[in-house]
Amino acid sequence: MRYKSIAGHELTPGKTIKDHIHVRGTELHVPHVLLCGEHPGPTLLISAGIHNAEYVGIQAAIELSNELDVKELRGNVIILPLANRSGFENRTMSMVYEDGKNLYRVFPGDAEGSEADRLAHTLFEVFIKNVDFYIDLHSGDGYETLVPYVYYLGDTSAEEKAKKMVTCVNTKYYVRSRCRTGGAYNLASIYGIPSVLIERGQLSLFSREEIEADKADVRNILRYAGILSGDWTEYPKQQLLEYSNDAPCTGCWYPEKKVGDFFHKGEKLGEIRDYFGRSLFTEYAPEDGVLLHQCSSLNIIEKGPMVTYGVLQNNIE
Ligand SMILES: [Zn+2]
């Protein structure tokens, strides 16, 4: 009998494979772990480190790859603990070291493009599009504070299952995204693969509590998917409509609010000043909302992230 193959490896029941895949036309190698359950079932992919300075998910993925037991799995778990390895090893702020691109934003990638394009192409073709469920682990970047929340993409054939995955995640908020371009989980969703992106952690810090919370969420989703046995827990949460405002200019940034704060329309959210302390721009809240993540470093970069907030929707699910 032949089993499903991923990255040139047949997923033979009971096997654990730890390997690197080479990205054609580059020096990049992507570490991956294939946990082939002893019992048949679906295949779930976990990726971390698409943004390489978002450490909570990376460490959670490394630990899960050693803690999940193939004897207990009904199906397969594929783990990419560090998708952007060269960024990690050169300590970039979540850009691919070789070409300075944001890997997350170039999906589905390009087999003939620069390093980030080729890496995204490989991740999508070899791993993402060949699985039944997908979890992408993120945090606030090295300069960002963030409250935990979870995304899924609306208006897809995978929406119902993706919503169930969202209920398995122990956060207060979720975003039903409308973004259909760039991004790994949303592209997978368009391909009909139930997918979520979990945001937890900030400022390139990583705490035991956050790592355990990521791992608990993944295990809960694995129970929902039937890959781990046992009951899964549903966590009620509030739906948000998300808005991201990038910085209109480069300079010094002075945020007024903390992530998780509620604000009213018209309240000041922060100000950009020049190096003489003169005001260049003031950001006011365009409507009532809750601050999800924001730039929290003194420097802010034109067209780079400034504030991302959510507007509360009526339904609690
Ligand atoms: Zn990220």
pLDDT tens digits for range 115-172: 999 999 999 999 999 999 999 999 999 999 999 999 999 999 999 999 999 999 999 9
316 has pLDDT over 70: no
CA 243 from centroid of its chain's CA atoms: 17
Residue 85 has pLDDT above 70, yes or no: yes
Task: Give the CATH number for residue 146.
Answer: 3.40.630.10
Please report the beta strands in 229-304, taking only residues with DSSP state E, as ranges in sequence order. Answer: 238-246, 251-255, 262-263, 268-273, 279-284, 289-295, 299-300
∠ CA 268-274-277, rounded to 5°: 75
pLDDT in tens, 55-76: 999 999 999 999 999 999 999 9
Strand (E) or helix (H) holding 89: helix 85-89
Whole-model pTM over 0.95? yes
For ligand 1, a single-atom ion, the residues with CB < 5 A are: 51, 54, 138
Identify the pLDDT of residue 189.
Answer: 97
* CA–centroid distance, residue 202 to ligand 1 (Å): 10
Residue 94: per-residue pLDDT: 86
Rounded CA-CA distance 15/34 in Å is: 8
Cα of 46 vs centre of ligand 1, distance in Å, is 14
- Tell whether 277 and 129 lie within a shared domain: no
Residue 86 sits in the same domain as residue 168: yes
C-alpha 2 to ligand 1 mean position (Å): 36
Note whether 259 and 206 are same-domain residues: no
The answer, yes or no, to whether residue 179 has pLDDT greater than 90, is: no
Q: Region 255-264: what's the mean pLDDT?
A: 98
80 alpha carbon to ligand 1 midpoint, in Å?
A: 14
- Spacing, Cα 51 to ligand 1 middle (Å): 5
Cα of 198 to ligand 1 centre, how many Å? 9
Query: How far apart are the CA of 226 and the centre of ligand 1, in A?
Result: 27
Which residue bears the tokens 């032949």?
2
pLDDT at 52 over 60: yes
Question: What is the CA(152)–ligand 1 centre distance, in A?
Answer: 14
Among 236, 262, 295, which residue terminates a domain? 236
Q: Are residues 65 and 148 in the same domain?
A: yes
180 band by pLDDT with thresholds 50, 70 and 90: confident
Lowest-confidence segment of 57-66, 178-187, 238-247 by average pLDDT? 178-187
**198 with 149, same domain?**
yes
Domain that holds residue 124: 5-236
Q: Which of 236, 259, 274 is the last residue of a domain?
A: 236
SS3 assignment, position 150: strand
Which CATH number does the domain housing residue 250 bear? 2.40.50.100
Q: What is the mean pLDDT of the chain?
A: 96
pLDDT score at 123: 98
Cα(234) to centroid(ligand 1), Å: 25
Distant-in-sequence, close-in-space partners of 216: CB < 8 Å, separation ≥ 6: 170
CA nearest 23: which of 106, 115, 135? Answer: 115
Q: What is the mean pLDDT of residues 20-43?
A: 98
Q: What is the mean pLDDT of residues 98-122?
A: 97
**Residue where a domain terminates, one of 236, 266, 298:** 236
Say yes or no: 216 and 253 in one domain: no
CA 13 to ligand 1 center in whole angstroms: 33
153 and 292 in a single domain? The answer is: no
CA distance 13 to 309: 44
In this model, does residue 313 exceed pLDDT 90?
A: no
Contact 77, 215 (CB under 8 A): no
What average pLDDT does this structure show over 177-197? 94
Quote the ligand 1 centre to 254 CA distance (angstroms).
22
pLDDT at 315 over 70: no
Q: Output the CA–CA distances (angstroms, integers) from residue 140 to 50, 55, 255, 275, 307, in the order listed.
A: 12, 9, 16, 26, 12
- Same-domain check for residues 170 and 292: no
- Residue 183 C-alpha to ligand 1 middle, in angstroms? 10
CA of 72 to the centre of ligand 1 (A): 30
Per-residue pLDDT at 161: 98
Cα(117) to centroid(ligand 1), Å: 17
C-alpha of residue 39 to centroid of ligand 1, in Å: 33
Q: How many residues does the chain have?
A: 317
What is the 233 CA–ligand 1 centroid distance (Å)? 26
146 and 68 fall within a common domain: yes
Residues 219 and 284 in one domain: no
Answer whether residue 317 shows pLDDT above 60: no
Distance 286 CA to ligand 1 centre (A): 25
Is residue 18 over pLDDT 80?
A: yes
User: How far is residue 17's CA from residue 36's CA, in Å, rounded to a whole number?
Assistant: 8
Same domain, 105 and 24: yes
Phi–psi pair at 202, nearest 5 degrees: -160, 160
Together in a domain, 213 and 267: no
**β-strands 173-177, 144-146: how paired?**
unpaired
Collect all residues with Cβ–Cβ distance below 8 Å to 89 and sequence separation of at least 6. Answer: 97
pLDDT value for 32? 98
Among candidates 146, 143, 99, 145, which has minimal Cα distance to 301?
A: 143
Residue in this structure with the two tokens 């924001």, named with its chain if needed: 294
Q: And the tokens for 78?
A: 């594929």
* Rounded average pLDDT over 286-302: 97
Please state the domain count of the chain: 2
Q: Per the structure block, which two tokens stand in for 48?
A: 């971390």
